[in-house]
Chain A
Amino acid sequence: MKLFAIAVTFSISLIASVFFMIAYALNLSTQLQGLGLFVALGALGAGIVLWALYALPQRQTVNAIEDYPSDESDRAGAEETLNRGTGELERRSFIMRFFFGAIGALGLAALFPFRSLAPRFGRGLYHTKWTSGSRLVREDGTPVKVAELAVGSVVTVFPDGAAGDESSQTLLLRVPPGTIQATKGRADWAPRGYVAFSKVCTHAGCPVGLYRASSFELLCPCHQSVFDVVNEARPISGPASRALPQLPLAIDSEGYLRAQNDFSEPIGPGFWQRS
């Protein structure tokens, strides 16, 4: 009876394998092909385990633990041989010193190529592609005109010619005029209620993608830092500790929004070399 059940299990596996081959040849669905393989593997595994449990004499075996530690004479012998060899090496200690010098230098030299893996920091960590007078464009490259954004709306913008650039991504928001509390030096950065902040979170670099227009709050979906738009995007809660850098804006004579300058500080998460 048990043997019969095992034979049936293996037969099921065999049939399922054939089913899989047919399903593959006919390009049936992933589910059907998977079903074939699943049953083929599962029935095979079950059959083998049943075989081991019901068609084999059950026996226990006992192994003694005697391989370690070695007996005293072996230990002493190994130690003595080691010491004798080491002693012979140490007798020429000045050669040893040169040897370790050479090995050490080679080890150090072998580390140098790894430096090639890391390119120089360059400007990337400190500056974005925004320059004085950069026109604000959307992800598809179209420029933003001053009349185009309704109060309460937000759009992701880039400097003209660098649409999609990671470090230059910037949120352009329009808030009711007069709601922005700007400190000295930033008074003319937000003309006509337009205000722009780096979209790269200052905590771990995610795009700060959620905006609650009713309370002027930007929320980072990764670790839930909240930034206060009307208060220079200072963090209100969450693990971020620094405000999102603000992009100084201007409106040109044709009504296009432009950047006055690059951000005045490195954007995004902090790093050791950042002052």
Chain B
Amino acid sequence: MIRRLVLAADDRLGSSHFLKAALRKAFPDHWSFMLGEIALYCFIFLILSGTFLGFFFDASGAHVRYQGSYEALHGAEVSAAYASVIRLSLETRTGLLIRQAHHWAALIFVAAIAVHMCRVFFTGAFRRPREINWVVGLTLLLLALGAGFTGYSLPDDLLSGTGLRIAYSVLLSVPFVGGYLAFMFFGGNFPAAQTSSRLFITHILFLPALLAAAMTIHLAIIWRQKHSQFRGPGRTEHNVVGSPLWPNYALKSIGLMFAVFAVMIGLGAFFEINPIWSYGPYYPANVSSPAQPDWYIGWLEGALRLGPNWELHVFNHTVPSPFWAGVLVPLFFFSLLYLWPFIERRITHDGDAHQLLDHPSDVPARTAVGAAVLSFAIILTFAGADDVMAKLFSIPLERLVAIFQVLVLVLPAVVGLLAFEIAREVRARRQALRNAESRIIYARTEAGGFAQRPEPEADK
């Protein structure tokens, strides 16, 4: 059967040359190489579950009187969008399960991308020839953030409505074009009648299409360039060693896919997320406290909370305070990330193509920069929950904000220095171990015992 299919394809496409190479493609076995795959499988799950949800969702901001099965809201004036999400959650079989799994998948999607990016950064996998994929990958992260935020905003509940109001204000704060940007995206002064349908089309068509396109490019480039690999016996700058695609790697990867799906469904089944019926519908004059966004927006929320209260008035124009923290900080953050491969090349004068990955300790300076940037984002995320922490630890909020304002400036420097010193120490020890006169390498034998192994060339 398979044989006939392969022959039939080859008769018409001449595909056997490609197929032969493809089936023998080497995939290095290392846990950190699965992070990107987890993101890919999250995306597939999001498309599948999102399509299901789309059949039930009504992207309309029109006001309706709620008459559904959730009694606490009976008679309340809500938007058709909000009512349809409650109906799909409480009256459609598997509706709640799939909606919650979809939300969890979105959180894990962004997390997987972020951790994957850290792996790529700290091992120097972004170096030539893979700078293009670093840029494509970062674009994927931005698209994922956009898809996450628009999806979070769709149900038109009180929490997401507040988040939208903030996003609108941040867009509005951009000099020269802010008003046009905000009106263009929201369809008028907030809350405009068209906001719901614009969010919907952005969330279900525009961003997923871009994500799918960028992901295709990302994978095609990996396919062409082949995987990078960690140092090891038999691994050089001109080869890649790993499990063959067929059948070993394909099987493992498909298994991972089902495992990822299982985690999503498990979270959706047992862990409540975004219960919009208890948040209530969005009324512009209402707000909840404490209000927390999804985790990946936390750093932006934190930046807004810590941001300076400078409002510039120049020549009869205004540059409002959210601009500094809400626009400039993420702009600077992502510019640095986009440019990093080129910055590093400028500093190290290393324009060579790299197939072997660095250990994070191999390049202490890069590790220090990564750790500093990461600590900056993390401290901002915590600052985004400062009201919760103030309550939890009984610290006056104003003092906590002041502490965070100092931390966000000082901590990245401290963490960077610390990472630099640790990496140097680790590198020295690794080198000492490698250069040691008398070393004996033991390896596990097939029978389960240990035996002395001759020293491999590549490790010297």
Contacts and interface: CB of A to CB of B under 8 A. Distances in A.
B309 A224 contact: no
Given A56-B251, A139-B285, A223-B305, A271 B238 contact: no
A224 B258 contact: no
Given A24-B93, A65-B240, A270-B173, A45 B259 contact: yes
A14 interface: no
A41 interface: yes
A275 B94 contact: no
Nearest to B317: A272
A109 to B, nearest CB: 18
B58 interface: no
Nearest to A48: B255
A258 B161 CA distance: 30
Nearest to A225: B309
Given A207-B287, A272-B178, A49 B252 contact: yes
B289 A31 contact: no
B453 interface: no
Contacts of B268: 34
Interface stretch (A72-80, A114-122, A248-256): A114-122
Nearest to A157: B285
Main SS class of interface, A: loop
Interface in A158-210: 158, 164-167, 169, 199, 203-207, 209-210
B311 interface: yes
Interface string B267-303: 0111000000000000111111111000000000100
Contacts, number: 267
Given A33-B94, A65-B240, A164 B258 contact: no
A38 B252 CA distance: 19
Interface residues of A, number: 78
A202 B198 CA distance: 26
Contact of B311 (A206, A238, A241): A241
Interface string A47-69: 11101110010111111111110
B258 A42 contact: yes
A151 interface: no
Interface in B69-93: 93
Contacts of B247: 52, 56
A30 B192 CA distance: 35
Contacts of A118: 180-181, 183-184, 187
Nearest to B286: A207
Interface of B: 24-26, 93-94, 96-97, 101, 129, 162, 165-166, 168-170, 172-185, 187-192, 224-226, 234, 237-244, 247-248, 251-252, 254-263, 265-266, 268-270, 283-291, 301, 304-311, 313, 316-322, 325-326, 355, 386-387, 397-398, 401
8 contacts: A30-B269, A31-B269, A51-B251, A63-B240, A139-B285, A164-B284, A221-B287, A274-B317
In the A-B complex, the 10 residue pairs with the smallest Cβ-Cβ separation, listed nearest first, are A34-B269, A270-B320, A45-B258, A48-B255, A124-B189, A42-B262, A221-B289, A45-B259, A49-B255, A166-B284
Given A199-B285, A270-B318, 11 more contacts: A42-B263, A48-B255, A49-B251, A63-B25, A119-B183, A125-B179, A204-B304, A205-B168, A221-B387, A224-B387, A273-B317
Interface of A: 24, 27, 30-31, 33-35, 37-39, 41-42, 44-49, 51-53, 56, 58-68, 114, 117-119, 121-122, 124-125, 139, 156, 158, 164-167, 169, 199, 203-207, 209-210, 221-226, 235, 237-242, 268-275
